[in-house]
Amino acid sequence: MKRERSVKIVATLGPASDNYEMIRKLHEAGADVFRLNMSHGSHEKIAELHAIIRKVEEDLDSPIAILADLQGPKLRVGEFKNGSEELEIGADFRLDLDDALGDLKRVTLPHPEIFAALEAGASLLVNDGKIRLKVKECGADYADCEVVIGGTISNRKGVNVPDVVLPLAALSEKDLADLEFVCELGVDWLALSFVQRAKDVWDARDLVKGRAAVLSKIEKPSAVTSFDEILDASDGIMVARGDLGVELPVQNVPPIQKRLVRKCRAAAKPVIVATQMLESMIESPMPTRAEVSDVATAIYEGADAIMLSAESAAGDYPIEAVQTMDNVAREVENDPTYTEVIESSRTAARTTVADGIVAAAREIAETTEIKAICCFTQSGTTALLTARERPRVPIIAMTSQLRTARRLALTWGTLCVMTGELERFKSAVVSAARAARAAGLASKTDQIVVTAGVPFNIPGTTNILRVAPCDERLIYASDPE
């Protein structure tokens, strides 16, 4: 399905969007990727949603990416005798391993790994940072704290520990079961929560065994510190600004977002900007001006995708939220300033033949009347490299691998078209010309750039570029063999 924009839209599914009619409408409105939140919903429900998405994909003949987002370890306090307590600034409060119900002085924190890593002076954030505790003294089974920011603390509220790398695996027992389930189900992308270091990603990759592409969520300060190594281990990145904005001062998040997006672009790996993008649209049919500016900023930075969470999963206006993102994206990408910003932030990479081929394709497209770049790709790498160039013309990713087409639905600027396995470059050029015309991107009087690897059907062999007419009669005339 051809979009009038290059950035992709990820829509989370939930109670507001869990049937065929709604999922189809969301895709038609602009959703390119559907996110299945493994924190909610049984395996039976997840399988049902997966089947519906695949049915929509078949009915519309449009490759759709499915992203399964693992929950990750959840750190929570225990329960209170009174259900909640009011902590005042300057008061003492203890966290420990005692199973007794909590009170105004203490509560259980059933995670010995946290106590093993804590040091005096460390901060503990409770209930999304609404309460801040500072550790005064700690041991193997307790932490005596001072209340720095007070408020209401209640049963099972989440705890963030921003100052230390916790000796916790990124995959809990639930995550391990969910990972195996969704990989067997056939999702295209697997998002890892609670990533702290590259080892977390490599451990997950060992379990995934290539059945899905692995995307790391950057939501902890330690992940920002180790980002280069995490990026190297990952197939894609999500800048998960929710927890990141809890564990870091909020003013730190925008420059971090900008740096991470640029690094992902330079590495030719897809990057999603997520969390609270159009949050007011959970209850309102119109976004705030600040939210629109936030979405626009991510697009100006060159993010591959922008994401809706509760807006499409549980909101009152899921279709309107997708349409709003689509409208903002088209307006931004038609702004001459957008082209200037994208091209000024382009990172040159000329280390392989494929790098040179895709760079040449982009330069030719920008200096002549080329309507599209058609790249033949088996693994998706050539399309990713082409997207890294952020060309001014659409990218048509031609592949015989449905799995590759689905994964590329997350990648900037790519229109994925299925093609049969090809043996000759001339046949590839003819297929590319037909695909460009069928998509409405070119007419018979136009030209396209075609890139491919010869011999065909071998990943990583991109070595040829041709400027070709979109009229196959001219293709055959110029190359009768």
Distance CA 63, CA 138 (A): 53
Instruction: Sort residue 67 into left (φ over 0), alpha (ψ -120 to 50) or beta.
Output: beta
Average pLDDT over residues 44-67: 97
Helix/strand/coil for 166:
coil
Q: Is 265 a catalytic residue?
A: no
Please tell me the predicted confidence (pLDDT) of residue 331.
98
Please indicate whether residue 76 is annotated as part of the active site: yes
- Asked if 433 contacts 396 with a C-beta cutoff of 8 angstroms, the reply is no
Domains of the chain, each with CATH number or no CATH: 8-72+170-340 (3.20.20.60), 84-160 (2.40.33.10), 353-478 (3.40.1380.20)
Predicted confidence band of residue 454 (pLDDT cuts 50, 70, 90): confident
Q: Which residues contact 189 (CB under 8 A, 6 or more apart)?
A: 33, 65, 66, 67, 68, 212, 213, 214, 215, 235, 236, 407, 410
35 is catalytic: yes
Q: What is the pLDDT, as a whole number, of residue 211?
A: 98
Mean pLDDT (the chain) is: 94
Burial class (CB in 10 A: 0-12, 13-18, 19+), 254: middle
Q: To the nearest whole percent, how much of the chain has pLDDT over 70?
A: 99
Helix axes 336-344, 289-300, angle to 10 degrees: 50
Position 1 scores a pLDDT of: 77
Given 275, 386, 399, 462, the catalytic residue: 275
- Give the pLDDT score at 389: 95
Is the confidence at residue 282, as pLDDT, over 70?
A: yes
Catalytic residue, chosen from 8, 24, 35, 220, is: 35
pLDDT at 472: 83
Q: Work out the average pLDDT over 137-149.
A: 97
Q: Specify the range with the lowest mean pLDDT, choosing from 160-164, 190-194, 419-423, 442-446.
A: 419-423
Catalytic residue among 5, 106, 197, 217: 217
Averaged pLDDT for residues 440-466: 88
Q: At residue 278, does pLDDT exceed 80?
A: yes
Which residue of the set 3, 25, 74, 76 is catalytic? 76
Q: Is pLDDT at 55 greater than 70 in this prediction? A: yes
Cα-Cα-Cα-Cα torsion 408, 410, 411, 417, nearest 10 degrees, comes to 40
355-386: per-residue pLDDT in tens?
999 999 999 998 999 999 999 999 999 999 99
Residue 319 has pLDDT above 90, yes or no: yes
258-280: average pLDDT? 96
- Contacts of residue 329, defined as CB under 8 A and 6 or more positions apart, other chains included, come to 5, 6, 7, 9, 295, 299, 306
Region of 194 please: left (phi>0), alpha (psi -120 to 50) or beta.
left
- Split at pLDDT 50, 70, 90, the class of 398 is very high
* Residues ≥6 apart with Cβ < 8 Å to 68: 35, 36, 38, 46, 178, 182, 187, 189, 190, 191, 212
Q: Assess whether 258 carries a catalytic annotation.
A: no
Asked whether residue 252 carries a pLDDT value surpassing 60, the answer given is yes
The maximal CA–CA distance of the chain, rounded, in angstroms, is 86
Give pLDDT, residue 461. Answer: 76
- For residue 90, give both structure tokens: 């300057």
479: confidence class by pLDDT, cuts 50, 70, 90: low
Helix (H) or strand (E) holding 198: helix 198-208
Indicate if the pLDDT at residue 481 is higher than 70.
no
Only one residue has tokens 């099972």, namely 156
Q: Is 476's pLDDT higher than 90?
A: no
What's the chain's length in residues?
481
Could you tell me how far CA 431 lies from the centroid of its own chain?
31
Reduced to 3 states, what is the DSSP secondary structure of residue 137?
strand
Cα–Cα dist 385/380, whole Å: 9
Query: Which residues, 6+ apart, have CB-to-CB distance to 388 below 8 Å?
Result: 265, 266, 268, 347, 349, 358
φ, ψ of residue 132 to 5 degrees: the values are -120, 125
The one-letter amino acid code at 118 reads L
The tokens for 154 are: 């209640």
Supply angle C-alpha 375, 408, 471, rounded to 5. Answer: 30
Q: How many helices (H) and strands (E) does the chain have?
A: 18, 21
Over residues 77-97, the mean pLDDT reads: 97
Condensed to tens digits (0 to 9), the pLDDT of residues 168-215 reads 888 999 999 999 999 999 999 999 999 999 999 999 999 999 999 999
Three-state SS at 148: strand
Residues 106, 98: contact at Cβ < 8 Å? yes
